[in-house]
Every structure is written in structure tokens, then in C-alpha cells.
Structure 1
């Protein structure tokens, strides 16, 4: 039988979120119901509320989540009831052209649950990133539930579901940062600090954090930044060159996603260096640059989708590193809040007061 639980929805554009009753159907073939334990408040949830994704209201928000599998549908083999899982929005299909070419991290046909969760009046909900985890329970495709060490703190583990994985993966997977590289990261919120943590994890010799907020630059140092640049006070490209013997960084990660920050990344890298764009631009942004600069500087210009992660490969490994004390994921949790405090958490996030507020149920 279906069950009624609490969930946080965005009913219309730019309006405060609401805590309401929602209906979770029994899992169908390939689906699982997950009892949510914790869910991070990600900027993407705010973007949904603001109408920056699409207009398929009402949205069931929340996606950076960890919980316990409550029930499974027919044919589910990845997990079983009682398993501790992190939810992800890249349940690879195994059949698309990317998957068949051995690039499942680029899967072009990722899975979501086939059934819809609804309001009590039958109105269908659009779950954020196919998850919808600001709720007591949610319904997802089995491939969206990744089994990890149950000893991990759920409030910490769930953050791998989106922003923290995006940043770590931008450095380790997309940017292929290695030992002795010089790395610069533009934007020191959750994603940027995760990129810094990833660069530190693999032994980058110099990690330069760039932001306009000294508080965020201090956070960046706590995750492994060796140098900082306040972009309000210093020219970013010139200072990057000063810190790298006049050459520029081997890898520059743009965790902001604006034309001006991308240009800083492009010109702040070494010849044949790498630029990684992981910050998400808005559809109205455009870029105009001399084409000859692209040719003459060489190197790689990459976009990082979800940190180019493969959840079943990366989540267990990163949780293991966290449990060993080698990856300080716990530092991303600024506060633990209740399900009815999400609107306030959005305001704190927008003001730069927190890295992550985490809803604990």
C-alpha cells in the first residue's frame, strides 16, 4: 500500500517552500523506497524553487541524502531492505552510446523511478534531480541507491550525493590532478572547497583558493589550500602567475560558473594547462574571446558533470577515506536542522553563512 509522509515542496516560482503531506507509492519493478535519515540543503534546491531549472511545479526538493532501504520492487538486485545507502542522480543505463563505449560516468540516459510521488489530492510531484529527499521517505530507481559503510555519519555521507562529489570529482576525475600539480580553485563554497579537499587528497603541491570573501578563504585553508587570493583586492590572473613562477597553475577549477571567472581560469593556467568548469552557468550567459587564444595556449578545457563520478565506484571509496580520517567530509556540515527549517537554510546559504545545512530526520 502507498503511504503518506511529510515532504518539503516548492509550489510556485520564488515562493517560500511548504512542509506538506505527500504520498509515496509502493515500489514497482526496479524501484526502492528509502527511509531518509539526512539530506543536505544544496544550492540546486534553491535554483529549483527560483525557477532556474524548469517550470514543472510543484517540486519535491532535496537530493543530497543518505538513508536506509525500506522496501524494494520486483527485480531489484542492487540493494535489499535494511541497507544503508547514499542517493545519487546518475543511475547509469548500461545501454546508451556512452555506457557501451566504457564511459558510464557520462551516461546519457540515466534512470529515475517510473512512478510518481504525489500530493494527497493526486497532484504529481517533480522530484529534484529525480530524488526528492526533503521527506521522511522517497521513491527512487534502484540504481540511485548506492550501498556504503553503515558506520558513516548519515549527515556527512549524504553530501556525496551532489555538491561535495561534484567538487571532489572535478579535481580528481575531470581535472586528473596528481601529485606535485599546482591547482587553483575559483569559488570557495561547498563545491570549491570539495575540489580543494580532492586536490589535497591526491598530493597537489600548491593549492590556491580564490574568492571575494575572507571567511570563505579561511574555510578553504581548512580543507587544504596553501595560498589564498581575495579577488576583490588583487588581480586574479596576475597573482596566480606571481604564485607560480610566472607560468600559471597546472589545473584551474571554476566552481562559480560565470564568464568572468571562466576567463580568469583560462588565462590563469599554464600553457597546455587544464580548465575545469564545474560551476553551473545560467542560460543567458555568453562568452566572447579571441579564437587565436584557444589555439595558442593549448591544453584542455573541460566541463565536469557531477564530478564525472560513477557512484558505485566512487561513493564507497570516498566514505572509506573519510572513515580513515584522510578526507575531512565532516567539515562541510555547518549545522544540523529540522525539516521545517529549510527556508531559513536557503537564506543562510545565499548569504554565505554556511557550507552546508543538513536536515536530520
Structure 2
């Protein structure tokens, strides 16, 4: 039997995010209903609100979430009622060519719940990243639920659902940062900060944080950066080369998603170094590089989608590191807010003094 809960919905481009009643159907085959305990406020949710990702309004926002499985549909074996889970937006299919080749982190046919959540009048909702977790409960594909240790705080566990995993994975999985490497991270918001943390976990010897905001650079130092560069007042390329003996960094993580910062990343890497694009560009953005420079510098130019993570592998591992005191996920939580405070949290993003606001239910 369907149930009514509160959720945060945006009905049109740039309309305010409002708490309203939504209808959750019973889970069908392969689906699960999860009672949400906490959900981070991510820039991606703001992009949905601004129409930057699509126009399938109304959107049910929220996707960086943790909670408890309340019910499951027919055929579900991955999780059971009462399991504490982190939600992810990439339930792998297990059947596509990437999955069959043993690379499920690159699954080409990820999926979400088949049924739709709705408003009271029956209007179908589009859940952000197939999750829609600014709500007391949400409906997802069971494969979007990853069991983790229930002793961890939901407010920190949920952050693995997007930004923190994207940044850590960009450094470790995509960039393959190793012991003794030099790393530059351009853009020190939540994702860039996580890339700094991931680089520190991997044993990088020198981690250079680049941003135009001194507050973010101060936070970057707290997360593990050994050096900082304010690119508003310094030439980032020259500064990073000077800090790396004139060579450039072994791995450069671009966490902004803009042509000018990507060009910085390209020219600030060492010969045969690696550039990782994890910042999300808009469809209209273009970049132009001399093809001879691309050829002559060697190395690798990579994009990182969700940190090239495999949730079933990476989420429990990172939670274990957190509980061992080796990964401070709590450092990414700037504030906790209520379900009705999402619009205020969006406004705080522009101030540069928040890594994550987290909605706690």
C-alpha cells in the first residue's frame, strides 16, 4: 500500500525548493523503500533546481543519503529490512560488456527504480540522480543500496553517495595517486577537498591545493594539503611548477569543470603525468589545445565519473577507514539542517564557507 511522506520538490526552473507531500509506492520487483536518516546538500541538487541537468520537472531533490531499508520487493537479495545503507546512483546491471569484462565500475546500463514517486495529485516526480532523498522515505532500485556498518553516523556515511566518493575516487581510482607522488588539486570545494584527502590516504608526498578563495584553501590544509595557491593573485601554473622542482605535478585533479581551469591542469602536469577531470562542465563548454602539445606531453587525460567507484567495494572500505580514525569524514560536514532548510543551504554554497550542509531527519 502506498504511503505519504514529506519531501523537498522543485516544480519549475529556479522555483524555490519546497517541502510538500509525496506518495511512495510499495516496492516492486528489485526495488526497496528506504527511510532516510541524513542527506547531504550537493551542488548537483542546485543544478537540478536551476534546470542545468534537465527539464523533467518536478524534481524530488537529494541524493547523498544514508538510511534504513524499510521494505523490499520481490526477488531482492542484496539487502533486507532493517539494513543500514548508503544510497548510490549507479546500480550496476551485471550483464553489459563492461560488467562481463570484470569492470562493473564502468557499467553501461546502470538503473534506478522502475516505479515513479508522485505528488498527491498523481504528477510523477523525477528523483535527483534516481534517488530523491530530501524526503522522509524514498523508492530506489535495491542495487542502489550498499550495506555499511550501522555504528557510523548517517550524517557522514551519506556523503559517500556523491561528492566525497567522487573526490576520493578521482585521486585513488582514476588518478591512481601513489606513495611519494606530487598532486595538484584545482578547485577546493567538497569534491576537491575529498581529492586532497584521497591523495593523503594514498601517500602523496606533496599535495598542492589551488583555489581563488582563501577560506577554501585554509580548509584544504586541514584536509591534508601541504601547499596552497590562490590563483586569483598568483599564476597557478608557475606556482605549481616552482613547488615541484620545475617539473609539474604527477597527478592533477581538476574539480571545477571549466575550460580555463582544465587548461591550467593540462599545462601544470609533469611530462607523462595524469590529468583527471572530475568537475562537471556544462554542455556549451569547449576547450582548444594544440594537438602537438597533447601528443608531445604524453601521459593520460582522464575523466572521472563518480570517482570510478564500485559502491559495494568502496563504501564499506571507506567507512572502515573512518572508524579506524584514518579518514575523517566528519570534517566534510559543516552544518546539519532540517528538511525545510534546503533553500537556505543552497544560498550558503555561494559564500565559500561550507563544504557540506547535511539534512538530518
- Give the TM-score normalised by the residue count of structure 1: 1.00
Indicate yes or no: 2:77 matched with 1:103: no
1:202-243 CA distances to partner (integer Å, 9 max, x unpaired)? 110000000000000000001100000000111011111100
Distance 1:335 1:181 in 2: 33
Indicate yes or no: 2:357 matched with 1:360: no
- Is residue 32–residue 71 contact of structure 2 (8 Å, CA) maintained in 1? yes
Secondary structure of 2:286's aligned partner: coil
Report the alpha carbon displacement of residue 100 of structure 1 after superposing the two structures with TM: 1.3
Indicate yes or no: 2:85 matched with 1:88: no
Report the alpha carbon displacement of residue 8 of structure 1 after superposing the two structures with TM: 0.3
Indicate yes or no: 2:336 matched with 1:332: no
Aligned to 1:204: 204
Aligned to 2:247: 247
Aligned to 1:310: 310
- Is residue 91–residue 110 contact of structure 2 (8 Å, CA) maintained in 1? yes
Indicate yes or no: 2:176 matched with 1:176: yes
Indicate yes or no: 2:248 matched with 1:238: no
Report the alpha carbon displacement of residue 353 of structure 1 after superposing the two structures with TM: 2.4
Indicate yes or no: 2:137 matched with 1:144: no
Secondary structure of 1:102's aligned partner: coil
Aligned to 2:222: 222
Distance 1:288 1:145 in 2: 40
Secondary structure of 1:325's aligned partner: coil
Distance 1:28 1:284 in 2: 39
Secondary structure of 2:270's aligned partner: strand
Secondary structure of 2:191's aligned partner: helix
- Is residue 276–residue 303 contact of structure 2 (8 Å, CA) maintained in 1? yes
Distance 1:360 1:308 in 2: 28
Report the alpha carbon displacement of residue 101 of structure 1 after superposing the two structures with TM: 1.5
1:261-300 to 2 correspondence within 5 Å?
261-300=261-300
- Is residue 216–residue 353 contact of structure 2 (8 Å, CA) maintained in 1? no
Secondary structure of 1:232's aligned partner: coil
1:328-353 CA distances to partner (integer Å, 9 max, x unpaired)? 11000000000000000000012222
Secondary structure of 2:68's aligned partner: strand
Secondary structure of 1:35's aligned partner: strand
Distance 1:279 1:255 in 2: 4
- Give the TM-score normalised by the residue count of structure 2: 1.00
Distance 2:271 2:224 in 1: 25
Distance 1:352 1:49 in 2: 19
Report the alpha carbon displacement of residue 154 of structure 1 after superposing the two structures with TM: 0.3
Distance 2:169 2:24 in 1: 32
Structure 2: 5+ residue stretches without partners: none
1:115-172 CA distances to partner (integer Å, 9 max, x unpaired)? 0000000000000000000000000000000000000010000000000000000000
Distance 2:237 2:311 in 1: 35
Q: RMSD over aligned Cα, in angstroms? A: 0.5
Structure 1: 5+ residue stretches without partners: none
Aligned to 1:20: 20
Report the alpha carbon displacement of residue 111 of structure 1 after superposing the two structures with TM: 1.4
Count of equivalent residues: 361
